[in-house]
Each structure stands twice: as structure tokens, then as C-alpha cells.
Amino acid sequence: MRPLKLPALTRRAMLVSAAALPLLQAGPAAAAGNVAETFVDENIHKGLSILSDKKLTLTQRRDQFETLLLGLVDVRRIALFTLGQYRRSAPPEDVEAFVNAFKNYATAAYQSYFAKYTDQTLKVTGSTKRNDTDFIVQTLLVDPNSSQQPSEVDFRVRTDTGKPVLVDVAYQGIWLSLEERDQFVAFLGQNNGNVRTLIAHLSELAVNLGKPTQ
Amino acid sequence: MLSLSAAARGLDLGLQNRQKPANRGFWIVRWGQGLLLGLCGPVLCFMGAGCATTPPSPAANDPYEQTNRDMLKLNAEIDHHFVTPTVRRYRLVVPEGGRRGVHNVLGNLSLPTIFVNDMLQGEVSRAGKSMWRLVLNSTVGIAGIWDPASKIGIPGHGEDFGQTLAVWGVKEGPYLVLPFFGPSNPRDATGLGVDTAMDPTNQIHFKQHLWWAGAREYFTLLDLKSQTYQTVQGIQRNSVDYYSSLRNFYRQFRNEQIRNGHNQAQDLPDF
């Protein structure tokens, strides 16, 4: 139960030191870790600058932010992951249709929450390497309108496709892809593994998410 | 793209920072789970075996899934008719500052239990922090209404006997949804029963003890529901399968609490 995670500043300091000292430069792995951190850090700032740009209308801000995110996230990889074991058994055309339905659903979910995190800020505090192309970048989320302590938000970054991409996010240690996969697999288990049923359900959800809340 | 919805939903989760007593409130309110499990566990097991129509999920360690789903519906009905209206009024009538004070007092009351569990887990440093929080917040913070300990760098953290059992190597057991109290498992339910037994405020019997205990539970429920109100609404609205979503959130949330923030990177599945 003892927290083994190093204090954020210490982690950061160690990473910076490793990069600065030639003898400690571990080559590609260390450099890639920094790439993941830089990737998250830079794009957070880009996102924040869009969200805080008062010259833009709300719609413009939402659209620009969405475009930015779509460029950072590997939608296909995430969608396939959330299908679990049904990815292998489903017909390829159903899988492709699912990827599109998933993208629409996720976009609708994002838009329904957009306004709620326009005032919040994220700060990169460090990263952990899973392997040479798989990194967890740790950040702190600060909500100026809340008396709560900053929340931990982790981003999973893959670099195996030549450029960094986001594949998952965790809020307070809860990974959303795992939660999505459990939901989808459970749903498919109750519907004879019929991916088309899931696609229809996701499409319906996306429409409902677009409606104003009560 | 999951990260879009994930980030969107995650940022709204409101699963309060694990270092704050918000989590503690979550567990305080469910102290009765331990008692209920003892009474209802065998019945639940029997019902699960007898009326299951949803295929059990071995991978999800959820052999009583159909019963659990029925129980979740029952809880949702209770919430809809009796709890949500009260929570809405509470949020309307009591301002944020007042709700924060209630939350702080409830968190302060749970500190002795947290201290004992810190010690049982061998977390001496964290136990010291719990003790300091109790002393400072009970005095300078006026019975815990304010949280001066956090201001001077002693943030709160949650511990309970369910986590202690996990540290001692006890497995969680099958997933359960208990009447009134929601997601649980045999380990956590047992832990809650033990926490209740060790809570010093439950050992002090005075003239109005029952009123006091009732009021504490009532406000704990209000505090919990008020803090998670938007979160639950969001999850319900976004979920393909709310039951599975809740089950996964509960397990990941508990595992995160048990790890105390220990890095889980190597335990994640490959993409």
C-alpha cells in the first residue's frame, strides 16, 4: 500500500537529468519517453489556447478542439480494442462499420461534455515507459472552480506508428478503454455477439447525446 | 477517439480525488453493506443460481449477474423516488460551502478508522498524517468543518478494512450489487462491517445515540449522492451497458485505492 510512485517533481527531475547527461542517456527509450511527454504537453497547450481564445465563438472553439483531438487520437486502434474477443469473430465489414459508429459515438460524448472542462488546466508531471513504444504520461488536472485537490489524469501514448498517438486516458486511475471494453463485450455477450446490434445501439446513443440534457 | 469520450467523461467523473475524504464518505455511507451481506448474501446467491437468465460472466467474476442487474434496477427505483429528489433539494438549499463543511465533518469522523487501517497496513507515515489531520481539523477546524490540515500540506487519504484485507492478500470474490448500497464484493462488504465495529463513534452510547447515528447516516447519504450526482447521471447517459460500466468503474476505483497510487503501467493490457 505504500505509494511507490516518485513525487512528480522528482520524476521530472530524473527525466530531465537523464536527458541532459550523456552517460545516462539510455538512447531511444529515454528519448521516446520525452517525446511522449512533449507530445502531451504541447498538445495540451494547443488545446488550452483554443479553449481560452475569446475571439472564437463557442462552436468554433468546439470544432477546432475536436479537430485537434481527432488528429492526436488513434481511433481505429481504440475501437478495435474495445471489441475484445469479438474483433476476431465479427465479419470484417461489421468491424469497419463499428469503427465509424464508435467514432461518432465518442465525438457525441465529447461534445456533450465540452463546456464542462473549458476552464480546467492540465500540467505534465512525468511519464512511465511500458516498452519502447508505449508510455504513460502523468498529468495533473486543476479545476479553478473547485476546492478539490488537483486530479491525476494519465495519457497512454503509443509511438510504434512513427508518430505519437493517444490511445487511452485514465482519470484517477480509471482507464476508460477498459471500461468501454467491458461494456461492449457485455453488450455483445447478451446479443449473441452481433456487432451490428452494438453499432445500432451506439448510433442511437450518439443521437441522444446530441440532444440537450434536462 | 475513445480518448475523446474518455477524456470528456473522465473529466466529469467527479470520482473525487483519492486524497480527499470524499472517498471516505463513499465508504462510510455503506457501512451497512457488511451487515446486509451477512443477511442477504446467501439469499442473493440462491436467487442468482435460481433465476439467472443473463449468461454469467466468468471473465468478469460475476456469477450472480442477473440478480445483480435486478438489484441495480431496484436501487435505481429507490434512488429515483426517494433519494434524488432529496439530493436535488439539498444541492439547491445548501450552498457549496455548506456542503463542503458537511463533507469535511463526515470525513473527520472517519479519521480514527482510517488511522487504524493505516496501522494495520503498516503505513506508519500515513497513520501519522491521519492522526495529525484528526487533531488539527477537530480543533482549529472546529469539529472538522474546515480542513486546515490540507492547507498546511497534510491532505486526506482514504483507507478501510476492505483495503486492509486486500493488502493482506484476500481476494475480492465475486461482484455483488447490494440492496440500497450498490456495488460491492464479499471482501469489501466484510471490511465495511469491521470498519463499523471499530468506529469509536459507534461505541459511545449516549441518550440520543440513535438520533446521532441516524443523522450521520442521513447526511452521509446526502453528501455521497450530492457529490456523485452529476457523475452518475453522465455515466447513465453515455453508457452502452450501465451495469457493466458501473462494475468496471467500481473495480478500477477500488484497485486504485488499494494501490495507493502505485504505478500500474505494467499491468495494463496491450493495445
pLDDT at A166: 94
d(CA A107, CA A209): 10
d(CA A186, CA A173): 22
Q: Is the pLDDT of residue B23 over 60?
A: no
Q: In this complex, is the C-beta atom of B269 within 8 Å of any C-beta atom belonging to chain A?
A: yes
Helix (H) or strand (E) holding A48: helix A28-51
- Name every residue whose Cβ is closer than 8 Å to that of residue B149 and which is 6 or more positions away in sequence: B132, B133, B136, B137, B141, B155, B156
pLDDT at A213: 58
Q: In this complex, is the C-beta atom of B3 within 8 Å of any C-beta atom belonging to chain A?
A: yes
- pLDDT: which is higher, B74 or A33: B74
pLDDT at A31: 55
Q: Is the pLDDT of residue B259 over 80?
A: yes
Question: A95-99, A172-176, B25-29, B187-191: which has the minimum mean pLDDT?
Answer: B25-29
Question: A156-160, B35-39, B263-267: which has the minimum mean pLDDT?
Answer: B35-39
B83-96 average pLDDT score? 88
Q: Is the pLDDT of residue A174 over 60?
A: yes
CB contact under 8 A, B237 and A209: yes
Chain A residue whose CA is closest to B169: A1
Q: What's the pTM value of the predicted model, to 2 decimals? A: 0.77
B178-185 average pLDDT score? 89
The closest alpha carbon to A203, from A107, A62, A76, A78, belongs to A107
Question: A16-20, A57-61, B88-92, B126-130: which has the minimum mean pLDDT?
Answer: A16-20
**pLDDT digits 0-9 by tens, A32-88:** 558 999 999 999 888 878 877 888 887 888 788 888 888 999 999 999 999 999 999
**pLDDT digits 0-9 by tens, B94-128:** 998 899 999 999 999 999 999 999 999 999 999 99
pLDDT at B141: 94
- Name every residue whose Cβ is closer than 8 Å to that of residue B14 and which is 6 or more positions away in sequence: B227, B228, B230, B231
CB contact under 8 A, A202 and B244: no
pLDDT at B270: 85
**pLDDT digits 0-9 by tens, A19-28:** 333 333 334 4
pLDDT at A7: 39
pLDDT at B48: 33
- If you ran DSSP here, which 8-state letter would residue A73 be given? B
Cα–Cα distances (Å) from A163 to A48, A64, A133, in that order, read 22, 21, 10
pLDDT at A49: 82
What residues of chain B lie within 8 A of the CB of A205, using their CB? 238, 240
What residues of chain B lie within 8 A of the CB of A149, using their CB? 17, 19-20, 150, 155
Q: In this complex, is the C-beta atom of B61 within 8 Å of any C-beta atom belonging to chain A?
A: no
Selected residues 174-233 of chain B with any CB under 8 Å from a CB in chain A: none
